[in-house]
Amino acid sequence: MPQSPPTRHLGQTSALPASPEAALLDYVANPRPDALYCVRFAAPEFTSLCPVTGQPDFAHLVIDYAPGETIVESKSLKLFLGAFRNHAGFHEDVTVGIGQRLVAEMAPRWLRIGGYWYPRGGIPIDVFWQSGPPPAELWLPDQGVASYRGRG
């Protein structure tokens, strides 16, 4: 198995980054680089701030990816996502920006992110982005998050 660079967060005390830009994501060597498989992270209590009102926005994020040479270390991802608590951004910018940063730094074979945002102003906004078509042989389960239905 390839050697991973030292991580900055794993096994250490780490403070929540002041902003998503200040967050340092750690990547480690993929333990199965020859296998095509899907990794899923779900963040059902994700928050950011509305750039207009400053009020909190809540989302259920689902990130699926097929690793290349590296995988993202989960503690650093948790800290990165937590850094959005004080970040003002529209749903589209936040969701797509998370996906694009992971793709740029990790270089997975493929990645998709679903941002299932809870209603603000009476309208839920769901945002979906992927890096390209998924590999043909990749088992890709449904993200499992229903569209917002209100009461009922």
Active site residues per annotation = 50, 57
**What are the angstrom distances between the C-alpha of 94 and each of 21, 49, 57, 100, 135?**
12, 10, 11, 10, 25
| b/e 44-70 (16+ beta carbons within 10 angstroms → b) | eebbbbeeeeeeebebbbbbbbbbeeb
